[in-house]
A and B are shown apart, each in its own frame.
Chain A
Protein backbone atom coordinates (compact mmCIF):
# COMPACT_ATOMS: atom_id res chain seq x y z
CA UNK A 1 0.00 0.00 0.00
CA UNK A 2 1.15 3.52 -0.76
CA UNK A 3 1.57 6.04 2.06
CA UNK A 4 -0.69 8.48 0.20
CA UNK A 5 -3.43 5.86 -0.17
CA UNK A 6 -3.43 5.17 3.56
CA UNK A 7 -3.35 8.78 4.76
CA UNK A 8 -5.71 10.13 2.10
CA UNK A 9 -8.31 7.58 3.27
CA UNK A 10 -8.03 9.22 6.70
CA UNK A 11 -8.60 12.66 5.16
CA UNK A 12 -11.75 11.53 3.35
CA UNK A 13 -13.11 9.84 6.46
CA UNK A 14 -12.63 13.09 8.40
CA UNK A 15 -14.43 14.99 5.60
CA UNK A 16 -17.40 12.62 5.82
CA UNK A 17 -17.66 12.97 9.60
CA UNK A 18 -17.31 16.75 9.33
CA UNK A 19 -20.15 16.87 6.77
CA UNK A 20 -22.43 14.81 9.03
CA UNK A 21 -21.82 17.12 12.02
CA UNK A 22 -22.39 20.21 9.88
CA UNK A 23 -25.60 18.77 8.40
CA UNK A 24 -26.98 18.09 11.87
CA UNK A 25 -26.02 21.56 13.14
CA UNK A 26 -27.62 23.18 10.09
CA UNK A 27 -30.89 21.39 10.98
CA UNK A 28 -30.55 22.55 14.59
CA UNK A 29 -30.17 18.94 15.80
CA UNK A 30 -27.39 19.67 18.29
CA UNK A 31 -27.49 16.24 19.99
CA UNK A 32 -26.52 14.52 16.73
CA UNK A 33 -24.20 17.36 15.81
CA UNK A 34 -22.33 16.91 19.09
CA UNK A 35 -21.91 13.16 18.55
CA UNK A 36 -20.74 13.56 14.97
CA UNK A 37 -18.46 16.46 15.88
CA UNK A 38 -16.79 14.34 18.57
CA UNK A 39 -16.22 11.55 16.03
CA UNK A 40 -14.78 14.09 13.60
CA UNK A 41 -12.52 15.59 16.27
CA UNK A 42 -11.29 12.17 17.43
CA UNK A 43 -10.58 10.98 13.91
CA UNK A 44 -8.79 14.20 12.98
CA UNK A 45 -6.67 14.30 16.14
CA UNK A 46 -5.74 10.64 15.68
CA UNK A 47 -4.67 11.38 12.10
CA UNK A 48 -2.55 14.31 13.31
CA UNK A 49 -0.93 12.06 15.92
CA UNK A 50 -0.08 9.46 13.27
CA UNK A 51 1.62 12.16 11.25
CA UNK A 52 3.38 13.90 14.09
CA UNK A 53 4.59 10.70 15.82
CA UNK A 54 5.46 8.59 12.79
CA UNK A 55 5.11 10.19 9.37
CA UNK A 56 6.77 13.56 9.92
CA UNK A 57 9.86 12.12 11.71
CA UNK A 58 10.29 9.71 8.79
CA UNK A 59 9.81 12.54 6.30
CA UNK A 60 12.35 14.66 8.17
CA UNK A 61 14.76 11.73 8.08
CA UNK A 62 14.31 11.44 4.30
CA UNK A 63 14.73 15.15 3.64
CA UNK A 64 17.28 15.82 6.36
CA UNK A 65 15.33 18.81 7.66
CA UNK A 66 13.02 19.31 10.60
CA UNK A 67 12.39 22.97 9.81
CA UNK A 68 10.93 22.52 6.37
CA UNK A 69 7.42 21.61 5.30
CA UNK A 70 6.73 19.47 8.38
CA UNK A 71 7.10 22.54 10.58
CA UNK A 72 4.46 24.33 8.50
CA UNK A 73 2.18 21.30 8.67
CA UNK A 74 2.57 21.08 12.46
CA UNK A 75 1.70 24.77 12.71
CA UNK A 76 -1.43 24.17 10.66
CA UNK A 77 -2.33 21.25 12.93
CA UNK A 78 -2.20 23.72 15.82
CA UNK A 79 -4.49 26.10 13.94
CA UNK A 80 -6.97 23.27 13.36
CA UNK A 81 -6.83 22.26 17.06
CA UNK A 82 -7.52 25.88 18.07
CA UNK A 83 -10.47 26.11 15.69
CA UNK A 84 -11.76 22.76 16.90
CA UNK A 85 -11.90 24.18 20.45
CA UNK A 86 -13.99 27.13 19.25
CA UNK A 87 -16.32 24.80 17.33
CA UNK A 88 -16.77 22.70 20.46
CA UNK A 89 -17.76 25.86 22.39
CA UNK A 90 -20.24 26.83 19.67
CA UNK A 91 -21.81 23.38 19.70
CA UNK A 92 -22.01 23.39 23.50
CA UNK A 93 -23.81 26.72 23.48
CA UNK A 94 -25.92 25.57 20.51
CA UNK A 95 -24.95 28.68 18.55
CA UNK A 96 -25.82 27.59 15.03
CA UNK A 97 -24.53 30.67 13.19
CA UNK A 98 -21.19 30.61 15.04
CA UNK A 99 -20.80 26.87 14.44
CA UNK A 100 -21.54 27.10 10.71
CA UNK A 101 -19.20 30.08 10.34
CA UNK A 102 -16.38 28.28 12.14
CA UNK A 103 -17.15 25.13 10.16
CA UNK A 104 -16.64 27.08 6.95
CA UNK A 105 -13.18 28.22 8.10
CA UNK A 106 -12.36 24.73 9.31
CA UNK A 107 -13.33 23.18 6.00
CA UNK A 108 -11.12 25.47 3.92
CA UNK A 109 -8.25 25.34 6.40
CA UNK A 110 -8.34 21.55 6.46
CA UNK A 111 -8.74 21.16 2.73
CA UNK A 112 -5.88 23.45 1.78
CA UNK A 113 -3.76 21.71 4.41
CA UNK A 114 -4.74 18.27 3.07
CA UNK A 115 -4.00 19.39 -0.45
CA UNK A 116 -0.45 20.37 0.47
CA UNK A 117 0.11 17.10 2.28
CA UNK A 118 -1.39 14.95 -0.46
CA UNK A 119 0.28 16.67 -3.38
CA UNK A 120 3.68 17.23 -1.79
CA UNK A 121 4.56 15.36 1.38
CA UNK A 122 2.75 12.08 0.76
CA UNK A 123 3.68 12.06 -2.91
CA UNK A 124 7.35 12.61 -2.03
CA UNK A 125 7.32 9.87 0.61
CA UNK A 126 5.81 7.46 -1.91
CA UNK A 127 8.51 8.34 -4.42
CA UNK A 128 11.44 8.03 -2.04
CA UNK A 129 10.54 5.15 0.30
CA UNK A 130 11.08 1.54 -0.73
CA UNK A 131 8.03 -0.82 -0.52
CA UNK A 132 9.29 -2.38 2.75
CA UNK A 133 9.80 1.06 4.26
CA UNK A 134 6.26 2.09 3.27
CA UNK A 135 4.72 -1.05 4.79
CA UNK A 136 6.69 -0.58 8.01
CA UNK A 137 5.63 3.07 8.30
CA UNK A 138 1.98 2.27 7.67
CA UNK A 139 2.06 -0.50 10.30
CA UNK A 140 3.53 1.93 12.83
CA UNK A 141 0.82 4.49 12.02
CA UNK A 142 -1.89 1.86 12.46
CA UNK A 143 -0.64 1.26 16.01
CA UNK A 144 -0.95 4.93 17.02
CA UNK A 145 -3.76 5.65 19.47
CA UNK A 146 -5.04 8.84 21.08
Chain B
Protein backbone atom coordinates (compact mmCIF):
# COMPACT_ATOMS: atom_id res chain seq x y z
CA UNK B 1 0.00 0.00 0.00
CA UNK B 2 2.81 2.39 0.83
CA UNK B 3 4.51 1.73 -2.48
CA UNK B 4 1.32 2.27 -4.44
CA UNK B 5 0.69 5.56 -2.77
CA UNK B 6 4.27 6.69 -3.12
CA UNK B 7 4.82 6.86 0.62
CA UNK B 8 8.34 6.57 1.78
CA UNK B 9 10.18 6.56 5.07
CA UNK B 10 13.20 8.34 3.64
CA UNK B 11 12.42 12.00 3.90
CA UNK B 12 15.29 13.84 2.40
CA UNK B 13 18.55 13.04 0.64
CA UNK B 14 21.83 13.86 2.40
CA UNK B 15 22.41 17.61 2.29
CA UNK B 16 25.66 17.21 0.32
CA UNK B 17 23.66 15.87 -2.64
CA UNK B 18 21.78 19.13 -2.97
CA UNK B 19 24.61 21.50 -2.06
CA UNK B 20 27.08 19.86 -4.46
CA UNK B 21 24.81 20.67 -7.41
CA UNK B 22 24.07 24.18 -6.15
CA UNK B 23 27.76 24.92 -5.61
CA UNK B 24 28.55 23.66 -9.12
CA UNK B 25 25.77 25.84 -10.54
CA UNK B 26 27.08 28.95 -8.80
CA UNK B 27 30.64 28.33 -10.08
CA UNK B 28 29.34 27.97 -13.65
CA UNK B 29 27.45 31.23 -13.04
CA UNK B 30 30.76 32.92 -12.17
CA UNK B 31 32.37 31.43 -15.31
CA UNK B 32 29.46 32.77 -17.41
CA UNK B 33 30.01 36.30 -16.10
CA UNK B 34 33.71 36.14 -17.00
CA UNK B 35 32.74 35.09 -20.52
CA UNK B 36 30.24 37.94 -20.69
CA UNK B 37 32.90 40.43 -19.58
CA UNK B 38 35.27 39.47 -22.39
CA UNK B 39 32.73 38.66 -25.13
CA UNK B 40 30.45 41.69 -24.64
CA UNK B 41 28.45 42.61 -27.71
CA UNK B 42 30.01 39.85 -29.83
CA UNK B 43 27.41 37.44 -28.40
CA UNK B 44 24.72 39.18 -30.47
CA UNK B 45 25.34 36.60 -33.20
CA UNK B 46 23.56 33.64 -31.57
CA UNK B 47 25.26 31.12 -33.84
CA UNK B 48 28.76 32.28 -32.89
CA UNK B 49 30.96 30.04 -30.76
CA UNK B 50 31.02 32.68 -28.01
CA UNK B 51 27.23 32.97 -27.83
CA UNK B 52 26.82 29.18 -27.87
CA UNK B 53 29.43 28.79 -25.13
CA UNK B 54 27.73 31.39 -22.93
CA UNK B 55 24.24 29.99 -23.53
CA UNK B 56 25.29 26.44 -22.63
CA UNK B 57 27.25 27.58 -19.58
CA UNK B 58 24.04 29.18 -18.33
CA UNK B 59 21.65 26.40 -19.32
CA UNK B 60 23.69 23.26 -18.62
CA UNK B 61 26.15 24.62 -16.09
CA UNK B 62 23.78 26.79 -14.06
CA UNK B 63 20.17 25.79 -14.74
CA UNK B 64 20.62 22.01 -15.02
CA UNK B 65 22.82 21.93 -11.90
CA UNK B 66 20.31 23.86 -9.81
CA UNK B 67 17.42 21.89 -11.26
CA UNK B 68 19.00 18.53 -10.40
CA UNK B 69 19.91 19.65 -6.88
CA UNK B 70 16.40 20.98 -6.27
CA UNK B 71 14.74 17.87 -7.69
CA UNK B 72 16.79 15.50 -5.54
CA UNK B 73 15.54 17.53 -2.58
CA UNK B 74 11.97 18.14 -3.68
CA UNK B 75 10.97 14.71 -4.98
CA UNK B 76 10.74 13.07 -1.56
CA UNK B 77 8.75 16.02 -0.19
CA UNK B 78 6.52 16.52 -3.21
CA UNK B 79 5.84 12.94 -4.08
CA UNK B 80 7.01 10.81 -1.19
CA UNK B 81 9.52 9.08 -3.43
CA UNK B 82 13.15 8.63 -2.51
CA UNK B 83 15.98 7.92 -4.90
CA UNK B 84 18.09 4.90 -4.02
CA UNK B 85 21.72 5.64 -3.09
CA UNK B 86 21.33 9.33 -3.97
CA UNK B 87 24.91 10.20 -2.99
CA UNK B 88 26.56 7.84 -5.46
CA UNK B 89 24.18 8.69 -8.28
CA UNK B 90 24.35 12.45 -7.65
CA UNK B 91 28.15 12.37 -7.55
CA UNK B 92 28.38 10.54 -10.89
CA UNK B 93 25.78 12.79 -12.51
CA UNK B 94 27.46 15.89 -11.10
CA UNK B 95 30.89 14.93 -12.52
CA UNK B 96 29.39 13.92 -15.87
CA UNK B 97 27.49 17.20 -16.12
CA UNK B 98 30.62 19.25 -15.30
CA UNK B 99 32.78 17.28 -17.73
CA UNK B 100 30.16 17.33 -20.49
CA UNK B 101 29.51 21.07 -20.16
CA UNK B 102 33.24 21.94 -20.18
CA UNK B 103 33.99 19.77 -23.22
CA UNK B 104 30.92 21.08 -25.04
CA UNK B 105 32.02 24.67 -24.46
CA UNK B 106 35.56 23.90 -25.65
CA UNK B 107 34.17 22.10 -28.71
CA UNK B 108 32.38 25.26 -29.82
CA UNK B 109 35.79 26.95 -30.16
CA UNK B 110 37.88 23.95 -31.23
CA UNK B 111 35.75 21.73 -33.48
CA UNK B 112 36.92 18.18 -32.92
CA UNK B 113 35.11 14.88 -33.24
CA UNK B 114 36.83 13.60 -30.08
CA UNK B 115 35.63 16.58 -28.06
CA UNK B 116 32.09 16.21 -29.44
CA UNK B 117 32.03 12.53 -28.50
CA UNK B 118 33.31 13.14 -24.93
CA UNK B 119 30.79 15.98 -24.48
CA UNK B 120 27.94 13.96 -25.96
CA UNK B 121 28.64 10.86 -23.85
CA UNK B 122 29.08 12.78 -20.60
CA UNK B 123 26.00 14.93 -21.09
CA UNK B 124 23.93 11.97 -22.27
CA UNK B 125 24.90 10.09 -19.09
CA UNK B 126 24.14 13.05 -16.80
CA UNK B 127 20.86 14.09 -18.38
CA UNK B 128 19.41 10.72 -19.33
CA UNK B 129 20.34 8.97 -16.07
CA UNK B 130 18.78 11.68 -13.94
CA UNK B 131 15.73 12.02 -16.17
CA UNK B 132 15.27 8.22 -16.26
CA UNK B 133 15.53 7.80 -12.47
CA UNK B 134 13.23 10.73 -11.75
CA UNK B 135 10.67 10.08 -14.48
CA UNK B 136 10.48 6.44 -13.34
CA UNK B 137 9.73 7.58 -9.79
CA UNK B 138 7.32 10.31 -10.86
CA UNK B 139 5.33 7.88 -12.99
CA UNK B 140 4.48 5.72 -9.98
CA UNK B 141 2.68 8.37 -7.94
CA UNK B 142 -0.67 10.08 -7.90
CA UNK B 143 0.19 13.54 -9.11
CA UNK B 144 -0.06 17.02 -7.74
CA UNK B 145 -0.02 19.86 -10.27
CA UNK B 146 3.58 20.51 -9.37
CA UNK B 147 4.86 16.95 -9.78
CA UNK B 148 2.96 16.56 -13.06
CA UNK B 149 4.57 19.74 -14.38
CA UNK B 150 8.01 18.57 -13.26
CA UNK B 151 7.49 15.27 -15.05
CA UNK B 152 6.64 17.14 -18.26
CA UNK B 153 9.61 19.44 -17.78
CA UNK B 154 11.91 16.41 -17.39
CA UNK B 155 10.43 14.85 -20.54
CA UNK B 156 11.15 18.13 -22.33
CA UNK B 157 14.70 18.04 -21.01
CA UNK B 158 15.16 14.56 -22.47
CA UNK B 159 13.84 15.86 -25.76
CA UNK B 160 16.14 18.91 -25.62
CA UNK B 161 19.07 16.59 -24.94
CA UNK B 162 18.20 14.29 -27.86
CA UNK B 163 17.91 17.26 -30.20
CA UNK B 164 21.14 18.66 -28.80
CA UNK B 165 22.96 15.39 -29.39
CA UNK B 166 21.68 15.34 -32.97
CA UNK B 167 22.97 18.89 -33.44
CA UNK B 168 26.32 17.83 -32.00
CA UNK B 169 26.39 14.88 -34.44
CA UNK B 170 25.78 17.25 -37.34
CA UNK B 171 28.54 19.57 -36.13
CA UNK B 172 30.77 16.54 -35.67
CA UNK B 173 30.38 15.73 -39.36
CA UNK B 174 27.97 12.81 -39.08
CA UNK B 175 25.66 12.72 -42.05
CA UNK B 176 22.07 12.80 -40.73
CA UNK B 177 19.27 13.75 -43.07
CA UNK B 178 17.73 16.46 -40.88
CA UNK B 179 17.60 20.19 -41.52
CA UNK B 180 20.07 21.84 -39.10
CA UNK B 181 18.03 25.04 -38.65
CA UNK B 182 14.72 23.23 -37.91
CA UNK B 183 16.52 21.04 -35.43
CA UNK B 184 18.10 24.07 -33.78
CA UNK B 185 14.74 25.85 -33.59
CA UNK B 186 13.10 22.84 -31.90
CA UNK B 187 16.07 22.48 -29.50
CA UNK B 188 15.65 26.15 -28.63
CA UNK B 189 11.84 26.07 -28.14
CA UNK B 190 11.83 22.93 -26.01
CA UNK B 191 14.78 24.19 -24.00
CA UNK B 192 13.35 27.59 -23.16
CA UNK B 193 9.67 26.81 -22.79
CA UNK B 194 9.33 23.04 -22.38
CA UNK B 195 12.18 22.62 -19.92
CA UNK B 196 12.97 25.93 -18.18
CA UNK B 197 9.61 27.77 -18.24
CA UNK B 198 7.65 24.62 -17.42
CA UNK B 199 10.03 23.81 -14.56
CA UNK B 200 9.58 27.29 -13.08
CA UNK B 201 5.79 27.09 -13.49
CA UNK B 202 5.75 23.69 -11.73
CA UNK B 203 7.94 24.93 -8.89
CA UNK B 204 5.75 28.01 -8.50
CA UNK B 205 2.65 25.84 -8.00
CA UNK B 206 4.33 24.38 -4.96
CA UNK B 207 6.46 27.04 -3.38
CA UNK B 208 4.53 30.29 -3.89
CA UNK B 209 1.67 29.11 -1.70
CA UNK B 210 3.94 27.16 0.63
CA UNK B 211 6.68 29.74 1.33
CA UNK B 212 4.67 32.93 1.22
CA UNK B 213 1.16 31.78 2.28
CA UNK B 214 -0.68 33.00 -0.79
CA UNK B 215 -4.09 31.92 -2.12
CA UNK B 216 -3.61 28.70 -4.11
CA UNK B 217 -3.58 28.58 -7.91
CA UNK B 218 -6.84 27.35 -9.43
CA UNK B 219 -6.65 23.55 -9.43
CA UNK B 220 -7.86 23.04 -12.99
CA UNK B 221 -5.54 25.75 -14.26
CA UNK B 222 -2.58 24.20 -12.43
CA UNK B 223 -3.48 20.75 -13.72
CA UNK B 224 -3.86 21.66 -17.38
CA UNK B 225 -1.50 24.54 -18.13
CA UNK B 226 1.69 22.39 -18.21
CA UNK B 227 -0.07 19.86 -20.45
CA UNK B 228 -1.30 22.59 -22.80
CA UNK B 229 2.18 24.11 -23.07
CA UNK B 230 3.93 20.82 -23.82
CA UNK B 231 1.18 19.81 -26.29
CA UNK B 232 1.62 23.10 -28.14
CA UNK B 233 5.37 22.56 -28.29
CA UNK B 234 4.89 19.13 -29.85
CA UNK B 235 2.33 20.55 -32.31
CA UNK B 236 4.92 23.19 -33.14
CA UNK B 237 7.41 20.47 -33.87
CA UNK B 238 5.00 18.75 -36.27
CA UNK B 239 4.16 22.13 -37.81
CA UNK B 240 7.87 22.64 -38.54
CA UNK B 241 7.62 19.71 -40.96
CA UNK B 242 4.10 19.98 -42.38
CA UNK B 243 2.90 23.57 -41.83
CA UNK B 244 5.87 25.90 -41.30
CA UNK B 245 3.59 28.97 -41.52
CA UNK B 246 2.08 27.97 -38.12
CA UNK B 247 5.47 27.88 -36.38
CA UNK B 248 5.65 31.45 -35.11
CA UNK B 249 1.95 31.52 -34.19
CA UNK B 250 2.15 28.44 -31.96
CA UNK B 251 5.38 29.56 -30.32
CA UNK B 252 3.82 32.97 -29.69
CA UNK B 253 0.79 31.36 -27.98
CA UNK B 254 3.20 29.48 -25.67
CA UNK B 255 5.03 32.72 -24.87
CA UNK B 256 1.76 34.46 -23.99
CA UNK B 257 0.56 31.54 -21.83
CA UNK B 258 3.76 31.64 -19.80
CA UNK B 259 3.42 35.44 -19.54
CA UNK B 260 -0.12 35.00 -18.16
CA UNK B 261 1.27 32.61 -15.57
CA UNK B 262 3.93 35.17 -14.66
CA UNK B 263 1.20 37.79 -14.22
CA UNK B 264 -0.88 35.43 -12.12
CA UNK B 265 2.12 34.65 -9.92
CA UNK B 266 2.75 38.36 -9.36
CA UNK B 267 -0.89 38.69 -8.31
CA UNK B 268 -0.53 35.76 -5.88
CA UNK B 269 2.60 37.34 -4.38
CA UNK B 270 0.69 40.58 -3.90
CA UNK B 271 -2.03 38.65 -2.04
CA UNK B 272 0.41 36.91 0.31
CA UNK B 273 -0.66 36.69 3.93
CA UNK B 274 2.88 36.88 5.32
CA UNK B 275 3.74 40.50 5.97
CA UNK B 276 7.49 40.06 5.70
CA UNK B 277 8.81 40.82 2.22
CA UNK B 278 12.24 39.23 2.04
CA UNK B 279 14.67 39.14 -0.88
CA UNK B 280 13.40 35.75 -2.06
CA UNK B 281 9.92 37.16 -2.73
CA UNK B 282 11.51 40.05 -4.59
CA UNK B 283 13.63 37.61 -6.64
CA UNK B 284 10.42 35.76 -7.58
CA UNK B 285 8.67 39.02 -8.49
CA UNK B 286 11.78 40.08 -10.42
CA UNK B 287 11.79 36.86 -12.41
CA UNK B 288 8.11 37.04 -13.26
CA UNK B 289 8.37 40.71 -14.24
CA UNK B 290 11.39 39.95 -16.39
CA UNK B 291 9.41 37.27 -18.21
CA UNK B 292 6.51 39.68 -18.86
CA UNK B 293 9.02 42.19 -20.26
CA UNK B 294 10.44 39.37 -22.40
CA UNK B 295 6.95 38.67 -23.83
CA UNK B 296 6.41 42.39 -24.48
CA UNK B 297 9.81 42.75 -26.17
CA UNK B 298 9.13 39.62 -28.23
CA UNK B 299 5.79 41.10 -29.33
CA UNK B 300 7.28 44.50 -30.15
CA UNK B 301 9.97 42.74 -32.15
CA UNK B 302 7.25 41.60 -34.55
CA UNK B 303 6.78 45.27 -35.53
CA UNK B 304 10.03 47.07 -34.74
CA UNK B 305 13.57 45.78 -34.35
CA UNK B 306 14.53 44.99 -30.76
CA UNK B 307 18.08 43.72 -30.16
CA UNK B 308 17.98 39.93 -29.77
CA UNK B 309 20.48 40.12 -26.90
CA UNK B 310 18.01 42.35 -25.04
CA UNK B 311 15.22 39.80 -25.51
CA UNK B 312 17.57 36.98 -24.47
CA UNK B 313 18.68 38.94 -21.38
CA UNK B 314 15.05 39.30 -20.26
CA UNK B 315 14.49 35.54 -20.54
CA UNK B 316 17.81 34.73 -18.83
CA UNK B 317 16.94 36.92 -15.83
CA UNK B 318 13.54 35.24 -15.58
CA UNK B 319 15.31 31.91 -15.06
CA UNK B 320 18.25 33.17 -12.97
CA UNK B 321 16.01 35.10 -10.55
CA UNK B 322 14.29 31.88 -9.55
CA UNK B 323 17.67 30.19 -8.99
CA UNK B 324 18.59 32.93 -6.50
CA UNK B 325 15.12 32.93 -4.90
CA UNK B 326 15.17 29.19 -4.32
CA UNK B 327 18.78 29.04 -3.12
CA UNK B 328 18.32 31.72 -0.46
CA UNK B 329 15.22 29.93 0.81
CA UNK B 330 16.19 26.28 0.58
CA UNK B 331 19.85 26.24 1.64
CA UNK B 332 19.56 27.96 5.06
CA UNK B 333 16.52 25.80 5.81
CA UNK B 334 18.29 22.58 4.84
CA UNK B 335 21.32 23.30 7.02
CA UNK B 336 19.08 23.99 10.01
CA UNK B 337 16.76 21.07 9.20
CA UNK B 338 19.47 18.41 8.85
CA UNK B 339 21.43 19.50 11.93
CA UNK B 340 18.30 19.93 14.00
CA UNK B 341 17.00 16.53 12.91
CA UNK B 342 20.32 14.97 13.90
CA UNK B 343 19.91 16.49 17.36
CA UNK B 344 22.63 19.19 17.32
CA UNK B 345 22.06 21.88 19.92
CA UNK B 346 23.92 24.49 17.86
CA UNK B 347 21.88 23.99 14.68
CA UNK B 348 22.14 27.50 13.19
CA UNK B 349 19.03 29.53 12.54
CA UNK B 350 18.28 30.39 8.93
CA UNK B 351 19.40 33.99 9.34
CA UNK B 352 22.79 32.79 10.59
CA UNK B 353 23.33 31.02 7.27
CA UNK B 354 22.03 33.78 5.02
CA UNK B 355 20.91 36.96 6.70
CA UNK B 356 18.04 38.75 4.89
CA UNK B 357 20.25 41.85 4.56
CA UNK B 358 22.92 39.80 2.74
CA UNK B 359 20.30 38.39 0.36
CA UNK B 360 18.96 41.87 -0.25
CA UNK B 361 22.43 43.22 -1.13
CA UNK B 362 22.73 40.28 -3.52
CA UNK B 363 19.40 41.34 -5.06
CA UNK B 364 20.69 44.91 -5.55
CA UNK B 365 23.77 43.70 -7.46
CA UNK B 366 21.56 41.35 -9.47
CA UNK B 367 19.22 44.24 -10.36
CA UNK B 368 22.17 46.47 -11.25
CA UNK B 369 23.51 43.78 -13.58
CA UNK B 370 20.09 43.41 -15.21
CA UNK B 371 19.72 47.13 -15.89
CA UNK B 372 23.33 47.39 -17.09
CA UNK B 373 22.96 44.50 -19.52
CA UNK B 374 19.79 46.01 -20.96
CA UNK B 375 21.54 49.37 -21.43
CA UNK B 376 24.54 47.52 -22.90
CA UNK B 377 22.51 46.93 -26.05
CA UNK B 378 22.83 50.68 -26.69
CA UNK B 379 25.98 51.71 -24.76
CA UNK B 380 28.57 48.94 -25.06
CA UNK B 381 30.64 49.71 -21.95
CA UNK B 382 27.67 48.45 -19.93
CA UNK B 383 28.46 44.87 -21.04
CA UNK B 384 31.45 45.05 -18.73
CA UNK B 385 29.63 46.93 -15.95
CA UNK B 386 26.75 44.44 -16.12
CA UNK B 387 29.03 41.41 -16.13
CA UNK B 388 30.94 42.70 -13.08
CA UNK B 389 27.65 43.21 -11.20
CA UNK B 390 26.48 39.74 -12.20
CA UNK B 391 29.88 38.33 -11.21
CA UNK B 392 29.42 39.83 -7.73
CA UNK B 393 25.86 38.39 -7.59
CA UNK B 394 27.01 34.86 -8.40
CA UNK B 395 30.04 35.20 -6.13
CA UNK B 396 27.75 36.21 -3.24
CA UNK B 397 25.58 33.18 -3.97
CA UNK B 398 28.66 30.94 -4.12
CA UNK B 399 29.98 32.40 -0.85
CA UNK B 400 26.64 31.82 0.90
CA UNK B 401 26.62 28.20 -0.29
CA UNK B 402 30.28 27.67 0.67
CA UNK B 403 29.72 29.20 4.13
CA UNK B 404 26.62 27.05 4.61
CA UNK B 405 28.55 23.87 3.80
CA UNK B 406 31.47 24.91 6.02
CA UNK B 407 29.14 25.70 8.94
CA UNK B 408 27.25 22.46 8.45
CA UNK B 409 30.36 20.28 8.60
CA UNK B 410 31.87 22.28 11.45
CA UNK B 411 28.81 21.62 13.63
CA UNK B 412 28.57 18.05 12.40
CA UNK B 413 32.16 17.39 13.50
CA UNK B 414 32.36 19.43 16.68
CA UNK B 415 28.79 20.11 17.85
CA UNK B 416 27.05 18.59 20.84
CA UNK B 417 24.00 16.48 20.18
CA UNK B 418 21.39 14.56 22.04
CA UNK B 419 20.65 11.01 20.96
CA UNK B 420 17.14 9.90 20.24
CA UNK B 421 15.57 7.06 18.37
CA UNK B 422 13.97 8.59 15.37
CA UNK B 423 13.62 7.72 11.70
CA UNK B 424 16.76 8.17 9.66
CA UNK B 425 16.88 11.63 8.10
Contact = CB atoms under 8 A, between A and B. Distances in A.
Contacts of B9: 68-69, 71-72
B423 A104 contact: no
A111 B274 contact: no
A22 interface: yes
Nearest to B12: A112
A82 B345 CA distance: 11
Interface of B: 1-2, 5-9, 11, 77-80, 142, 144, 206, 210-211, 213, 273-276, 278, 329, 332-333, 336-337, 340-341, 349-352, 356, 422-423
Contacts of A82: 340
Contacts of A16: 213, 273
B273 A105 contact: no
Point out which of B79, B210, B329 has the most chain A C-beta atoms below 10 A from its C-beta: B210
Contacts of B79: 119
Given A105-B333, A105-B349, A112-B77, A22 B274 contact: yes
A123 B341 CA distance: 26
B8 to A, nearest CB: 8
A23 B276 CA distance: 7
B210 A115 contact: yes
A142 interface: no
Contacts, number: 99
B275 A72 contact: no
A98 B351 CA distance: 8
Main secondary structure of the interface of A (DSSP, over half): helix
A96 B273 CA distance: 19
B210 A22 contact: no
B275 A119 contact: no
A140 interface: no
B213 A120 contact: no
B7 A26 contact: no
Contacts of B273: 15-16, 19
A101 B351 contact: yes
A138 interface: no
Interface in A40-67: 62-65
A17 to B, nearest CB: 10
B35 to A, nearest CB: 35
A60 B340 CA distance: 27
Contact of A98 (B11, B341, B349): B349
A102 B349 contact: yes
Given A63-B2, A120-B5, A124-B5, A104 B351 contact: yes
Nearest to B209: A111
B349 A109 contact: no
Given A79-B341, A108-B329, A109-B337, A69 B210 contact: no
Given A22-B275, A116-B80, A69 B7 contact: yes
A102 B332 CA distance: 11
Contacts of A15: 213, 273
Contacts of A23: 274-276
Given A107-B274, A108-B211, 18 more contacts: A16-B213, A18-B213, A64-B1, A71-B423, A82-B340, A98-B349, A101-B349, A104-B351, A107-B213, A108-B210, A108-B333, A115-B210, A119-B78, A120-B6, A120-B7, A120-B80, A121-B7, A124-B5
Contacts of A35: none
22 contacts: A16-B273, A19-B213, A19-B275, A22-B275, A22-B276, A27-B275, A65-B2, A68-B7, A71-B423, A72-B11, A75-B422, A79-B341, A83-B340, A100-B276, A100-B356, A101-B349, A105-B349, A109-B337, A111-B210, A119-B78, A119-B80, A120-B5
A146 to B, nearest CB: 24
